[in-house]
Structures are given as C-alpha cells and as structure tokens.
Structure 1
C-alpha cells in the first residue's frame, strides 16, 4: 500500500513538473536586449552543487565571470567538468553567440571571448533574480532554450558627464557593470568641463589644485531668476591610478572607455588654472553655473603644447581606439577680438573663425593620429570643414550625421530628440528638476539610428548610437540612476536588437519584469510604467479624451469632477466625451491596488478647439508635440517643460498658423504663450502679426510687439478691436510668428538660430 502511494506521488510530481515545463513559452523569456532568435524547448536544466563548468583558454573572461557570478550569488563553487561548456565557433561573427540549454547541459558557442561574454549575460537573465543580491538558491532550474544572437551595431554606448558633478570610482564601476549586463560596449567618459577638470595630468599640477574645483554651484534651474548659489566649494578628480583601475575593470567586461578632453570650448576650468591658455591672459575662475562660456582655448603654440602634453598622458591611460575632443559649443567672441587669432586666420588663409576651429581640430587630429589614435567629436567639428579622419557624434539632430556619412565619415548617433537622458521622462509635476525637454521611454525605444536620407551604402558609416547623461541637475549617484534607468534599457535594445517591427507593449512587459533585477542590484530606476497618458481628439465636431497606460492587465479608474479617483470610481472603457471645461483625474489599478501616481488633466474648451489648423512649417522632429492640432485641443503645455506633448518647437523658422473656425463665430480675444528659456537657445518672438477674415469678407490685420523681458513664459494676449466691437464674427485667423533670429554674442548658443516654442492658441 505504501509503495503504491509512493509511486502515485512520484507520477503526480512528474506530471506537475511536465506541466510546468510545457508552460514555459518564448514570450516568458524576458531578456533585455531582446535576442534575434529564441526557441523554448521542453524541460529544465538543474544547476546545483554537482554542476560543473569547463572552457578553453579562449574564453577566460566570460567563463570566469560566470563562475564568479554563481559563486557570489549562491555560494556554489563550480568544479571543472562539462555540464556548462564554452566552445569556439569560427563561423560566428565577432560579437555573436549561440546559447543552448538542454536538460543535461549548457553550451555556449562563440567566435571569441567577447561573444561568449554576451551569452553569459543572457544566461544570467535566465537565472533567479535573487542571485544578483547574493541570496540565490543552491539548487535552481533554468529553462531549456536555444538562443542565437548578434548585435545590430558595432558601437553601443552610454555617456556620463563627471565635469558638472563627480561620482565615486565604485559608482563608475557600477555604471560599467550595467552597460556590460545590457551588452553595451562603449563608455564615453566626459572628463573635462567649464565647471571642473576631473583627470589627473601630472605635468600640469594646477589642473588638480585649481581646475578641479569651483567656488560654488548654482542652486535651482538655470532659467530661474535671479541666480542663486550654495556658497560651497565643490570638486575633485580621478587620479591616474584610479583611472587605470576603472579601465582594467571595464576591459574585463568588454567595455571600451572613450575619454573626452574638451577643446577648444568648455575649457574655462583649465584656463582658470593656466590663464595663458586663453586669449586675454586674464585670470578667470572655474564656472559655477551651467551653460556655454566665452573662455575658450586660444589657438597659440602655448595651447597646442599644453594639449599635446595632456593627450600624451591620456593616451597612456586609455588603450581604446578613440580620443573624444569635444568641439561643441565654442563661442568665437574671444577669437574675433584676438590679434593672434585674426593674424592666424590670415596666415593660414582661413575663411573665418569657423575655419579657425576647423584648423584647431585638424591640427589636434594630426597629433592624435601620430599616436595611433583617432578622434571623435560632436557635430560642430563639421563647421569650417571636417578633419580628415574624424568620427562625428551627431547631437543637434540627424543633419550632422547625414552630412558626415555622405562624405564618407563614420558617425555615432546621439540626437537630443532620442538620446538625451538629462531630459524629463515624465510629465508628472513631482519629477525631480531636469534641464528641460521631454524624452519618455517609448520615444527612446522608437529610435532608429539609420537616417532615412542615407542610402544603403552610406548607412554603413553609422557605427551605432549612445545615450547621453549630462549631469547639471544630477548632484548625486541616485539621481544619475533615476535619469538613466529604464531609458538605458530601451537604448540597449535600439543598438543591439534594432528590430524592424518593434513591439513596445512587449518591451514594457519585459521592463516590468526587469525591475526586479534592478531592485536586486540596488539601482534607483524611475518607474513610470503605471502612469497614464491622455490625448484629446475631435470627431464630427465633438471632443473626446482618451486614457491609456503602458502596462498590461491593469485597469484605469477616473473622475471628471476634479476629485481623486478610488476603486469605486468609473472604470475607463472608452473615450470620454468632453462638452464643457473639466478636470479629469485618473489612476491605474492592479485589482484594488493603486499603482503609480494620479493623472490630472485640466481641459479648457474654447472656440478654436477641434478647428481645422495648418502650419506652414513642420515642427522639429524632436519637439513635434501632438502636431498642429495640439495647439487647439483645449490643453495647455507645462509651465516648466517646453518639450511635452503640447508645446511645438521650431528651429530658426518663421511660422504661420492658420485656424479655420468652421463657421462664423464671435471673437473677443486671442491668446497664446511662448517659451523663453534662453539658456536652452529658446527665444520668444519680437512680434506677432495677426490676420482675421471677417464674416463679410473683410480682412483685418494687426502687428503686436512682444515684451519678452527675462521671464521664461511669455504671455501673448490680443483683444479684438473693430468699430463693431463685440458684434463682429470671424471665420478664420492667421498668426504669423517670425523667428527671433540669430542668438547674440554673449548668450548661450550665440551664432546659432534661435528656437521658437508656442503653446495652445486660445480663442474666445
């Protein structure tokens, strides 16, 4: 009887196990970045104290990493054997791998150690999350799979600015660990800035004692007026020994570090240490606020000797192919007023100061090339002619990349529109202060690094892409993580997978699961998956408001009277009709549990809502908002963030906005507002021209000056004045908004075209 019972239990256990095995599906394998091919098979591999590991000498780094990961996470010390084995396959591409997990064996095949390392990172994500925090079980199962994978791009990077704020060596290692886990292979380390020089250069000790420190730091946002400072000295630098330690650490994770030594601009800290490097020779201090400064390197023999000496020491520390020389945001004011610079322009037959910058970059490139290295720089290095062997990092949009690629130069894509992780990632008003803009997770995920304008042959010059983390508003390591994660997950998939048919919904599901791993790794990620997005639409003269959330299997409950939603509030199922001005509040629920934060949207209906609207220019791709219809949807943009769905941005263009009211309507006044964040190159127009077509066909025009002052938000109000006063009826309205023009000298972005940002156009 006991034997029968025992056998029955065994059969039941086997059946349960079989059911579990059959329930593992391809969609349950939540790997980021998503592999090219995943096949889930029946059964599980059991890893325990009897499991063995073996590899040949070609896979030392990857096999050592896996052995250490398991030992540190579970306490299991895998002995030599063939349960987990690394095999060389010379037919695979450099970074490709094949991972096969069967019931009895784990096999990793790769051409080299790098490919095998990426296989290990995938295998890691098939293991229990608890291993990440050293609390993994000594007996666990891994699903049986066959995964074949290789990267879409050879350059897969993340950037970190340590000039504005500096972070510990341990944190830099943690950052590199995250890159390696996500199969990224390049770390762009931004080491010098106006606000601080962060790398030890032994030949120039004042870079450590003077340039590495600023007397105080700006408090609040740059756009806040007046500027306030904390009165605290701030700074530091990485010693050469610390840098060697970080470089070695990165090499063991197949991450190449690209150091950035800014030139000729963003160099005020160095000039503070050695005034003779500037054009005036006058003493300055390391910058204590953010932005662009007129103190740039003077192209003198003294400067070139200094930079060559610096490069000599930098090259000894970084074994990678590239030295990043910056080249961005270099005002020409000092050069225009410098006798030496003007003589040099004439002597070298240069066209102007832009040609002088090209000469500066080309000269430094030649020197760096003699050291067996290549330069990489921001897209401003295109101005005045590109240095012969330079690689361009295109940040001001796609145009720089397109120009460089068509000229046969390699490019790395990092446009502000999709790659600047210092931008806000949520429209919630409780978000920590950021530089501005709006870059949600979905927009990062949608990025395609190959511009449509390039041919198939030209697109080969696009090496890849990177996410940028500029740290003006990231005073600590937690804030860096908050801004980088989870957007770095999306970027990793852009550069590794870059699938043509991107499934954002599937990605969000994997991110939600990946949050558990980030928790275990003590990474302070931003969780906006349970936020609500709202959109206004018009159909046959009626207005509706739509709610949606990114996460699956969740419900939304809402109110329309301004009260906070609860589990008993209306469950959202279809678009909400809007017939009056109202305030909608909504929240995501998982069952009866509140998730995320409350969504609030104030809608103010006016006579233009739902009207036909046309703009003579397309808004910039980076700031397209909700399109033209977003200017007459009853929803105003953020008071503090010009990059949300409601603001439209235009770069250097005069715009004409035409609104057809559909029928003759009484009009008393028209109002809108402009963003005026000069620190972000955004300027309100100097004037606005209006044209009204009245019901009798009369055309009324007017021109109104705009008083921009120093305010960030500039209201524009116009009261309709005719002899008929309030009896007049209007059929259509046109707003002509001339661009501010070229940003003047002494201002951030001087010499560049200004941006125009316009909000809701209200007609009543």
Structure 2
C-alpha cells in the first residue's frame, strides 16, 4: 500500500484493498467528478475489446435505454460494436447492468465493481445504472469522448469498487434563452454535459421582456411578435445614453423541438423544468397582446436589459385566461412535476395606478399590491395543482404571503430560502453570491463584457446548500442547489460554455458528494485530468488565469511595489510582461514577486506545460500615486454619516440628485438605514474620514447596484450603473488628517448590497461602516 494512497484514503474516504500482485490502481486512475461517496481501488484492470458485450438483467425500456446509451458512448472512439444481451449474471468480458433492489440509498444510488474479468453496475433503478455508466466513462481514457476511432489507445478500466449515491435530489443548471437564443443542437450538448456530471434538472428560462421563446398554438402572435425584437443594446445596461445595433433579433422553439429536447433529456434522466415568467418580465408578451397590460399599450419587445414597469394586469380576467391557456400547452409539452412561474422583479407601479387592480385589491380584501402579487401567484398555483403540477418561484414570491404549496428558489442570497424552509416549504438554493454563473470569473478588465460580480471557481466549490441557521428538521426542506446563467451579455454558445465551465463541474460535486469528503485541492487535481475530456468534447471552458496575492484589480505605489502571483493548477507555469505587450509561452517566466517602479500594466498568463495552451490574460494596472492632502481647518462632529434618501429608478447615481430627497438624517451603524420602502431607490452619504498615519491605502467599494465615491470632492471610485454585486478598487496615498468623503448608491430592484473596505499600508483590511466616519459640523 503506497503512502500517497493512504493519505488520499484518510482525507477523502477512499480505501484500498490488497490484491494478489503489485499492480495497484493509483489515485489518478480513479479520477471521477463528482467524487463518489465510497471508492475502493483494486488490483488489475478490465480491458475493453471487440468481443466485449453489454448484458442486462432486465428487458424493460429504461434499462435497455441505458445499455443503448452505453453502447453509443463507447463505440465511436473504440470502433467496437457492443451487442446487448439479456442475462441473469455477469460473464467474462462483459459489462453487466443489473437491477438489484437490495442496493440501498437515495434515488440514483449505484454500485460499480471493476475486475479483470468484468464490469458490474448494480442499482435498484435504471437511473442508478445510468450514473454508474457515467463513473465507468470517467475511469476510461479521456479519448473515449472522441466521435471518431482513436487508434493506439488501450481501453483499460482500473479495478475498483464504488458505492455511491447523491447527497441532494435536486442538482440543477439553468439557461436563459429569453435574452439570447440558442439552437436545439446546443441545448442537447448542454444536457449531455449535465448528464456526464450526474446533474438531473435543466431549468429552461423561456420567456422574458426581450423575447418569448416557446410556440403557443392558441396565441400565434407570441411567435410572430413576442419572439422578435428590433435591436439589441450595445454595451452595458448601466451605461447611458443607450445605444442599439438596430439589427432584428429573434427566435423560438416549436413545440415539436421542445418535445425533442424533453425526450432527449429524459433519456439521460434529466427533467426539463420550463419557466414562464409572471407577473413581471412580461413586456414581450404584452407587445403581442397589449390588452393583458394595465395601460393597454402600445408595448414593444424590449431591446435593453433591466427591470421594467409593464407587467401583467392582475385586475384583468383576460390575463388569467391567457396564462392558463399558455400553461395548458406548456404542461402538454413538459411532463415535469414542477413548472417555474418566475415571480421575481415585478414592479408594482402600474398596479398602483390601475383601476382594475385596485378594484381587485378591494374585492379580495387585500392590504396592498404585495398581497395582490401573492393572490396572483396563489391563483396560478391552484390552477397548476388542479392539473397535478407544482410551482417553483423566485424568492420574491414570499412577499405578501407565500402560495400554500410553492417551492422557493432562493437567489437573493440565502435569506429567502431560510425563511421558506422555516415555514415548511421546499427550497432550492441558488444564491447569487455563489451560484450566478453570469458573474465574472476574474478581473472584468480581462473578461468579455458581463453583468458584473465576481465568482471564482473556488467560491462555487465552497458552497454548501444547507444553511447553518436551519434545524435538522427544517434542513430537510432544502432539496438541493442550482447554478444560473443569465444571458444579457452572453450571445453565443461558446460564451455560454465559457461562463458555465468549469464552475458547473464544481457545482456537480457540491450537490453530489458529502460535504466532509470535499477537498478543493483534490478536486483541482481531478479537474486537471477532466480538462482533457472537456477538450475532446469541444467545450470552451474558462482556464484559470494567474491570481495576484492580494485580490486586487489595480495596484498603487509610492516608490515601487512587488506583485506576487500564483495559480492553483498543477503542471502549469506563469509567464508575464511589463511593457504592455501580450504575454506568450515564451515571455518571462514568473519565479518570484515582480518588482514594478513605474506606472504601467503587468500582464500574465497561465501556460499548460504539457500542451502549451494558455489562459486568458490577467492585467493589473500599476499606478504611481502622489499624496492627497487632508482638509485643513475642519471640525468633525459626531460619529456617522449624513444621508439623503431618494425614491425612484435611477440608472446612474447622479440621476438621483435631479429630485428632492424623501428623507435625510444620520446613519451610525449599517449602511442602509431603515427608511427604504421602495424596490428602487438611492442614497448619498457624506462625512469625514479620519486617517491615522501617512501611507498608501487601497479602498474597495462593492455594490449591487451602482455606486461612486468622492474624496475631497474629486471622483475617486467609479462603480456606477445598474449591475449585480461587483467591487472596484482604487489606491490613494493619504497623510494623517481628515478627508471629505461622499458616497453615492443606487438600487434598481432586487437584492442590494453596499460595502466599503480599506486596506492599510501594513496590508491589513478593515471593513468600514458609518461609525468609522464623522459628520461635518
């Protein structure tokens, strides 16, 4: 027994059994993602050849489907024809798929045994056999993924015994096709990758303000009008003035195509969950059928991104007739138990002014527009329940009272999920902090344009779907977790893959493998091998760029500075330049921290030493800064900041100052005081920042949505525009004294966050609150 394998055993629950000779599997031979619950490496190997057969213990349709899938998986690369036969037991040179009711565990549990003579996959249900096939697939050389015959490869499977089952029954991935449309061929590839990683839910986001993507035969204008927009925003949605490309954009899936996708996913034991948004994100539908809106229109399919005021009219009976008819056709296409009805980001402006909605509120005895939304969702839930279906909604459906049997998808952090679980409702965790795959994976300067935010691979892997705030009984309501990809800024299939992979690979292990067995370093080792599999499958995944030692997108210095770089990936090296040129595999090799003594930019890449492939470029602007003098002859007041509160929808922070504030005061603890009573709002904060000693400081301003910081009345940090949570860092050389500070913040709807950190000259980082400032007398 090798010491290295013993260490792996102790860390990850993988054990080894002794064989009759010295040929033992290594940890690299047993590289499977997601990591199995229990894995025992043995002696010897099973060799696939032209005489290998697939045996099944049953001739039921699902088992034969798994056998056919396995044959189609193995044949192209090996060139072997794998016949399938019915059998009661395994035989030499066979792969035996055996239904065994004595195998215990959660749905999807399986046992996989590989010996010199045979491979046996056992499970109580065919879904477990399918997952056993996925593990067998990853034990084979990566070349098994090729679509053409690979000569010279030994198709050997290392001897092993695996006992495995999922930790969560909901293991999902989402794709928004409303903002940008993707063909059926790509949707199938997306599903294939889910299957390889033992994921079982595909959340298909089919309707949006910017496009309706599903054919509804009763309402043909949804295809003719709602699926098409006259152009698309150029640049970021938080930047004004808006510019458009004026190129017609559209597309939709016919019902026949949607059924094809559903059947394709079902063969891979994946449930397709359709989402039909209501009552908000409905402008495209209103453009086709304006009588369903509160104002009657006219409406147009939206060309830019954001949250828009025109939603379905809750006072109009035609609205419910329309949605019920739509859902009847949706249910006929999608057999999923769950239908996702959205429920998020539905401004109440139109309802507040609509006589029919106000009449509905009075007639139903409701208190306000939030309870009207609860009425809306509950009514649709009852309709779906009558047809044997259940609803899922985003966590906004909690507002005004939760529909009785609703399952909540918690996206604005975990708070909504915790609240729902404590109420006894099932929950799917998909917090934007850990599972929003449209967030940047590295410095935005080095990435394609995105919505904002920062979500590295390690943070995805660190997530655990069960919050500590829940009791054991409440935790039973956490069904699992899901990664979400919104496509405002993701226009192509290649870009989808770039944003999703490898973060979805990390998520697959989060929802399958027991928390105590997960280890990020070991995951990275297995991921390195897995990349070759993804390469052969032509997946355009993100490859880690070098990381600076301090997580900063910008460095400042007084005389000089040193920048340390690292990469978590093995079998790689870092190459860099300082002259502004793009680094290559022949650029300077990084061996120690790089000294920089003039303004410029450090560019660095990760290089695979085995293939020479390179990552995207890390760029760190480095700026020589001069001291900013403190304000003289100024008297500080009490601890805190003065604030002005503005209500309204502001695309930029400066827009709020065009109107009078709703409220003013002093805030002394948390940033956002208890005066907010609107989904969209803004604040300004003003005061004095004390600096205790001379030196170079770095300020980190994070916000969801936009923010700006002024220092001594000069713009200092620009984090403006409507975006998800993102951080901007700027250096400042400050002397001891007091500095005037003004911070702007705006929220366009949904969850909000404002945070300011200060990194001192000694490298320590402090999170600043209003208590760290003084008001000005």
Across the two proteins, how many residue pairs are aligned to each other? 670
Classify 1:39/1:177 alpha carbon distance in 2 versus 1 (closer, same or farther; 3 Å): same
Q: CA deviation at 1:340?
A: 1.0
1:681 is matched with which residue? 705
Q: How does 1:413-428 map to 2 (within 5 A)?
A: 413-427=429-443
Q: CA deviation at 1:168?
A: 1.0
1:400 is matched with which residue? 416
**1:306 partner SS:** helix
Q: Distance in 1 between matches of 2:348 and 2:36?
A: 47
Q: Distance in 1 between matches of 2:505 and 2:401?
A: 36
Q: Distance in 2 between matches of 1:412 and 1:187?
A: 13
1:69 is matched with which residue? 73
Q: How does 1:105-254 map to 2 (within 5 A)?
A: 105-134=118-147, 135-137=149-151, 140-254=155-269
More off after superposition, 275-284 vs 88-97: 88-97
| Runs (5+) with no aligned partner, structure 1 | 1-17, 610-614, 618-649, 691-702, 721-728
Conserved in 2, the CA contact under 8 Å of 1:96 and 1:150?
Answer: yes
Conserved in 2, the CA contact under 8 Å of 1:652 and 1:739?
Answer: no
2:620 is matched with which residue? 601
Q: Which deviations, in whole Å up to 9, do the C-alpha atoms of 1:286-344 show, x marking residues without a partner?
A: 11111111110001211011111111111111111101000000010100100111121
Matched, 1:514 2:530: yes
2:360 is matched with which residue? 344
2:457 is matched with which residue? 441
Q: CA deviation at 1:446?
A: 1.1
Q: Distance in 2 between matches of 1:430 and 1:231?
A: 27
2:754 is matched with which residue? 756
Conserved in 2, the CA contact under 8 Å of 1:221 and 1:435?
Answer: yes
Conserved in 1, the CA contact under 8 Å of 2:238 and 2:720?
Answer: no
2:97 is matched with which residue? 86
Q: Distance in 1 between matches of 2:353 and 2:211?
A: 26
Classify 1:294/1:152 alpha carbon distance in 2 versus 1 (closer, same or farther; 3 Å): same
Of 544, 547, 555, which aligns to 2:565? 547
Q: How does 1:394-543 map to 2 (within 5 A)?
A: 394-427=410-443, 429-528=445-544, 530-535=545-550
Q: Distance in 2 between matches of 1:407 and 1:495?
A: 23
Q: CA deviation at 1:224?
A: 3.0
Conserved in 1, the CA contact under 8 Å of 2:45 and 2:156?
Answer: yes
- TM-score under structure 1 length normalisation: 0.79
Q: CA deviation at 1:95?
A: 0.9
Q: How does 1:253-292 map to 2 (within 5 A)?
A: 253-292=268-307
- TM-score under structure 2 length normalisation: 0.78
Q: Distance in 2 between matches of 1:556 and 1:716?
A: 24
**1:109 partner SS:** strand
Q: Distance in 1 between matches of 2:341 and 2:99?
A: 38
1:647 is matched with which residue? none
Classify 1:229/1:557 alpha carbon distance in 2 versus 1 (closer, same or farther; 3 Å): closer
More off after superposition, 490-499 vs 595-604: 595-604
More off after superposition, 89-98 vs 335-344: 89-98
Q: Distance in 1 between matches of 2:133 and 2:732?
A: 67
Q: Distance in 1 between matches of 2:250 and 2:35?
A: 40
Of 318, 325, 336, which aligns to 1:309? 325
**1:384 partner SS:** coil
Classify 1:520/1:343 alpha carbon distance in 2 versus 1 (closer, same or farther; 3 Å): same
Conserved in 2, the CA contact under 8 Å of 1:557 and 1:567?
Answer: yes
Conserved in 1, the CA contact under 8 Å of 2:576 and 2:587?
Answer: no
Q: CA deviation at 1:429?
A: 2.7
Q: Distance in 1 between matches of 2:715 and 2:205?
A: 43
Classify 1:48/1:656 alpha carbon distance in 2 versus 1 (closer, same or farther; 3 Å): farther
2:402 is matched with which residue? 386
Q: CA deviation at 1:738?
A: 6.8
Q: CA deviation at 1:715?
A: 11
Conserved in 1, the CA contact under 8 Å of 2:24 and 2:41?
Answer: no
Q: Distance in 1 between matches of 2:504 and 2:367?
A: 42
Conserved in 1, the CA contact under 8 Å of 2:446 and 2:617?
Answer: no
Q: CA deviation at 1:232?
A: 1.7
Q: CA deviation at 1:545?
A: 4.4
Q: Distance in 2 between matches of 1:373 and 1:273?
A: 27
Conserved in 1, the CA contact under 8 Å of 2:445 and 2:619?
Answer: no
